[in-house]
Amino acid sequence: MQTIRRLLFLTGGLLLLSGSVFASDPPTQLHMPDGQLSSHPIRVYVTPDIPESLDPRLRLTGSNEVTKKHTTEDELIKPFVHATNQNWVEIVAGQKVTRTGTLLLFDLRNYPIHPLKAMIRLTPALYRKGSKNDTIWNPVAVGSKDIYLGKSTGVIAYTLALVALLLIFIILISRAVKGKAVFLICGSDGKLSLSRTQMALWTLAIGVVIFGYGLFHREVPEIPDSLVALMGLSLATTGISYRQVSKMTDASGTQPKTTGSAPTTPQADASGGATPAQPTPPVATHARARLGDLVADHLGEISIAKAQMVFWTGLMLVLFLTKSTIDGVLWEVPWQMVTLMGMSQAGYLGPKFIKPKVSVSNGT
């Protein structure tokens, strides 16, 4: 009988203990993705779900090591969207973890960010009321790590400034070597090279986006495979074009235009005879680079293949820069577009494999 009483007492204690455990609320966890722009709706995830009646608020605390603290930094910000039972994915210890909870959207377009800063580092904290009728908000969760909140105008300004400095440096070096920086994108004849121009534009566009992303997120972005393939096509086209133009030039024997010099008078040698006149070596000149070179062939005729390549290159560059800027990540170019670019470049390279006809004349 005593044994039965002990068992009943132990069972009751376990039931009471388990009931108290299940009755207690699980801890609230806050997840605010890093690297969001203040011009976009700011996402904050909370698990488990928080009823809208508890009026959750967000507080963002900065370090203020360099700039003074703004009076509005400690304000509790109310979300304009409160959605429960939402799913999202977090990276925990390098592993993707799916969580369920509440999604809060905040409007931080007026959040104070110093004009000279492209971003600000903040510690997020979530506050809520204890009950619907309370007038005091209590902290319930703090972000596991600090986050960067960026200002799009600042990121763009710093990125363009650095890229401009690099371009000026390259231009100065090119002028020291060739006299004109435009020869970077010109062929051996001095005309604008479509393949070199395309490669330069893609290098500039991808470099701007990668630097802007790295400046904002403080990490190297993941480069999509289709973008690598597109850049590879551009490089391959430039290399093949250069090779074929060199072979065509050697086969036809054509050289850049030259300017001759006045004939020299024969010079007498020691024996009194005259030695043959030695003409001054001609000075090579180059054609003047024009935008029309991008759509004209080597004969000066309009090339539909080159015009098509200019069209697709310009279209893809605009789409790439626009999508990457809006989405905040490098745009994954659709493989169908990569195929179209490849076909366009094949049409551009095709005529370069046709051997030119060399006419032999009995000129004087």
Residue 189 has pLDDT above 80, yes or no: no
What is residue 233's predicted lDDT score, i.e. its pLDDT? 79
Is the domain spanning 24-150 CATH 3.30.980? The answer is no
What is residue 245's predicted lDDT score, i.e. its pLDDT? 62
- Over residues 253-269, the mean pLDDT reads 48
What is residue 79's predicted lDDT score, i.e. its pLDDT? 93
Residue 150 has pLDDT above 80, yes or no: yes
pLDDT > 70 fraction of the chain, expressed in percent and rounded: 74
Q: Do residues 165 and 211 make contact, with C-beta atoms less than 8 angstroms apart?
A: no
Give the number of other CB atoms < 10 A from CB of residue 273.
8
Domain boundaries in the chain?
A: 24-150, 154-255+289-353
What is residue 356's predicted lDDT score, i.e. its pLDDT? 57
Residue 173 has pLDDT above 60, yes or no: yes
What is residue 274's predicted lDDT score, i.e. its pLDDT? 52
What is residue 145's predicted lDDT score, i.e. its pLDDT? 86
Place of tokens 């195929």: 339
What is residue 288's predicted lDDT score, i.e. its pLDDT? 75
Give the number of other CB atoms < 10 A from CB of residue 224.
14
Q: CA 117 to CA 111: how far, in whole Å?
A: 13
Contacts for 32 with CB less than 8 Å, ≥ 6 apart:
42, 43, 44, 45, 124, 143, 147
Compare 167 and 269 and report the one with higher pLDDT: 167
- Per residue in 54-67, pLDDT (tens digit) is 889 999 988 766 66
- Per residue in 88-116, pLDDT (tens digit) is 888 777 778 888 999 999 998 888 887 77
205-216 per-residue burial string, b: 16 or more CB within 10 A, e: under 16: bbebbbbbbebb
Alpha carbons within 13 A on the beta-carbon side of 90: 18
The pTM score is 0.65
Containing 338, the helix (H) or strand (E) segment is: helix 335-349
Which region among 1-5, 78-82, 158-162, 193-197 has the lowest average model confidence (pLDDT)?
1-5
For residue 305, name the pLDDT band (cuts at 50, 70, 90): confident
DSSP state of 311: H
- Per residue in 16-56, pLDDT (tens digit) is 544 444 445 568 888 898 888 888 899 999 988 888 888 89
Q: Do residues 38 and 111 make contact, with C-beta atoms less than 8 angstroms apart?
A: yes
